[in-house]
Amino acid sequence: ETGVTQSPTHLIKTRGQQVTLRCSSQSGHNTVSWYQQALGQGPQFIFQYYREEENGRGNFPPRFSGLQFPNYSSELNVNALELDDSALYLCASSLEPGANYGYTFGSGTRLTVV
Amino acid sequence: QKEVEQNSGPLSVPEGAIASLNCTYSDRVSQSFFWYRQYSGKSPELIMSIYSNGDKEDGRFTAQLNKASQYVSLLIRDSQPSDSATYLCAEISGTYKYIFGTGTRLKVLA
């Protein structure tokens, strides 16, 4: 059984550019949640996708958008990058939207905006 | 605004001692709480979950929950240098969203 995988592991972008981050969910999991973790902070909830629909959203602007595909993998897109978007982006998958048993996170994508 | 608060540390303990990590939360209706360990540059990994008042033990780790006082704690017995990491406390908001604290950095001194 494979775990949650994210790509790329690192990338550097210029302010104003657009970026797409990818996440493959754990086998059998139909729910994917995305978090942003700035340096020295706890992860902040961006949004969750369940069966290809957005199931909830945190306090992030519309330039943060996502998709979930029929195989339950997911993408996080960020437009018009700002310096403050520099962070570790974490993806977690789960069997269902409720996370009472805890998430397994992927290894994350470290985004640096210069 | 629902919050989870932790002392950022660092908390330094000698090898073999008990490390005590604490967390308070503001949402009185929260039911589920989690402790994650995060090594520098890595993603968080789940250590324990706790849902009921009292203690829950798993190996060297004990989670404690006191809903009346709205705090959660994690005890690490026989601390090892490999336990040096940031420990994140989290609660579930609604049915799907975690709210994380900022984490407590633990240093176990050999």
Q: What is the pLDDT of residues B14-69, one digit of tens each?
A: 999 999 999 999 988 888 999 999 999 899 999 999 999 999 999 999 999 999 99
Residue of B53, B44, B52 lying closest to B89 (CA atoms) = B44
Q: Please name which of B109, B101, B56, B57 lies closest in space to residue B82, comparing C-alpha atoms.
A: B109
Angle at B24 between CA B8 and CA B26, to 5 degrees: 125
Taking an 8 Å cut-off on Cβ atoms, the answer to whether A99 and B49 are in contact is: no
The tens digit of pLDDT for each residue in A10-21 reads 999 999 999 999
B102 vs A: CB within 8 A: yes
- pLDDT tens figures, A29-88: 899 999 999 999 999 999 999 999 999 999 999 999 999 999 999 999 999 999 999 999
Query: If contacts are CB pairs under 8 Å, which of residues 79-98 in chain A contact chain B?
Result: 88, 90, 97-98
Query: Residue A46's closest chain B neighbor by CA?
Result: B97
